A and B are shown apart, each in its own frame.
Chain A
Amino acid sequence: MSEQEIQEKGYARPEALVTTEWVAEHLDDQNVRIVESDEDVLLYDIGHIPNAVKIDWVEDLNDPLMRDYLDPEKFARLMSEKGISPDTTVVFYGDRNNWWATYALWVFRLFGHDNVKVMDGGRVKWEAEGRPMTQDVPSFPSADYPVPNRDDSRIRAFKEDVMSHLEDHNPLVDVRSPGEYSGELLHMPDYPQEGALRGGHIPGAANVPWARAVREDATFKSADELREIYEGEAGLKGGDDVIAYCRIGERSSHTWFVLTYLLGYDKVRNYDGSWTEWGNLVRAPIER
């Protein structure tokens, strides 16, 4: 697929996606940093795109004590270690249809690093095309990264925001599976802490499982196809103030990416507390 084919998919912000071809041509570009972010964290060690660095979403981007993301000082240090400066174009890719790649991208956006892109098709497409992979871990010279301001309000929703969202009758998108949405699936035996005390969904939320946004080959569907799903079926329209959620906010960051960059919605927030918070929250309203 060439860049023209991304253009032809009709996205609002097509520059947010790059092809595997583009990445192959920019492996040695000093202004670009390729970042692998996977659910299966050992995949990078088994083999990765040459010159790509690993960002382990659990170990690198989370606060180890409190349920939150890392603080600005740690983010700056992480960027410095990976040889990323504020001007660097960061290109994310990963497994599971780029699900964790978009989550890492979303976290970067909390810190104002806006020069971010996703490699369409992710890891699986690079492999399917027989492109080179390596186990060599690159080392880049430390970059200067000033401690950024962190502003969560633009793209992150907290439970209070969801409460007022409900009062204003603004749209919510629940991107979990239909079984979780309906409340049939609560938790699996032995892992009660993985589930919630209550099943169901936030009242009024539309259910659009996150992976509906991608094709078989893990590339994103065209803007027309996405509009059919998110607007035709789920009833969203441009200009809406949307909150997306799932279980811990990882799948919903994928949908946030789709709505924000591919369909051009400018008021989309990811509620990362998601069902692990809402389904355990005393007196939080639930629908089934």
Chain B
Amino acid sequence: MPGGGPECGGSVVVYLKGDGDGRIADLSFTGAGDTISMGAASIIMQKVHDDNLSMAEVLDLDYGTFVEELGSEVVGSRTRNATLGLSTLKSAIRRYLRERRPDTR
């Protein structure tokens, strides 16, 4: 799932593999961008791994809280850069869940 824009702020591609049970089997990203966007993307990927977050838990993560954890003096008003990784990850999860939804009759 791609996110962001290459010319301004940064862009990432998130690679997500689910285990079929709402948990994340594998997660990585590639990207190019400024220190804030790349650093924050790296931090969120690490957090998901360290805290063993499920897909539902990632979707529940609050952007404002995440920015506070990064440090608002560091992020300043570049919140878009700081949340690029997390928002792209959420998009990847939503897409995964959409595509795996069983047919309803």
Contact = CB atoms under 8 A, between A and B. Distances in A.
Interface of A: 39-43, 46, 56, 58-59, 64, 176-177, 180, 187-191, 194-195, 247-248, 250-251
B8 A248 contact: yes
Nearest to A62: B77
A194 B78 contact: no
A189 B91 contact: yes
A46 B39 CA distance: 13
Interface residues of B, number: 22
Contacts of A251: 7
A58 B78 contact: yes
A70 to B, nearest CB: 14
Contacts of B102: none
Contacts of A43: 35
B53 interface: no
Given A39-B34, A42-B34, A190 B3 contact: yes
Given A177-B7, A247-B7, A189 B35 contact: no
B27 interface: no
B4 A58 contact: no
Contacts of B36: 40-42
Interface of B: 1-5, 7-9, 11, 33-36, 39, 74, 76-78, 80, 87-88, 91
A62 to B, nearest CB: 9
A193 B91 CA distance: 16
A45 to B, nearest CB: 9
B31 to A, nearest CB: 12
A188 B6 CA distance: 9
